[in-house]
Amino acid sequence: MAQPFNDSPVSKSPPAGNSAIVAPVRHTGRQGFLPISTNLWDRFFISMVCLVAIHLLWLRFVEPIFLPVYTLWGATLISGAVTYIILRWG
């Protein structure tokens, strides 16, 4: 037996639990391995904070042990590598 054709102008409403309409979220920054959405200046600031932290840790832990051999150039090279990684892929 054929089912009757229903041509009513009333549309079916969504269930009561899903009645809220959510607008899509537009991310303006870049999403990398950092846990936040960032732009270039955010990543630059984060890398400069890391630069200060690496130099302070170097002065506290590395330089007292290897004073005649290593200077702050080692910390600067490590900071440069970290800065490049954060700016490129962060």
pLDDT digits over 4-41, tens only?
656 555 555 555 555 667 667 666 666 788 888 888 99
pLDDT digits over 27-76, tens only?
666 678 888 888 899 999 999 999 999 999 999 998 888 776 678 889 99
**Beta-ladder partners of 30:** 38
Structural domains counted in the chain = 1
Residue 44 lies in a domain: yes
Residue 7 lies in a domain: no
Report d(CA 84, CA 44) in Å as an integer: 9
Residue 24 lies in a domain: no
pLDDT of residue 66: 78
Residue 39 lies in a domain: yes
CB atoms near residue 2 (< 10 Å)? 4
pLDDT beyond 80 at 2:
no
Q: Give the closest residue to 43 by CA, choosing from 53, 30, 26.
A: 30
Residue 17 lies in a domain: no
Residue 49 lies in a domain: yes
Instruction: Indicate the DSSP class of residue 18.
Output: G
Tell me if 50 sits within 8 A of 76, measured CB to CB.
no
Residue 48 lies in a domain: yes
Residue 69 lies in a domain: yes
Quote the domain boundaries for residue 57: 30-89
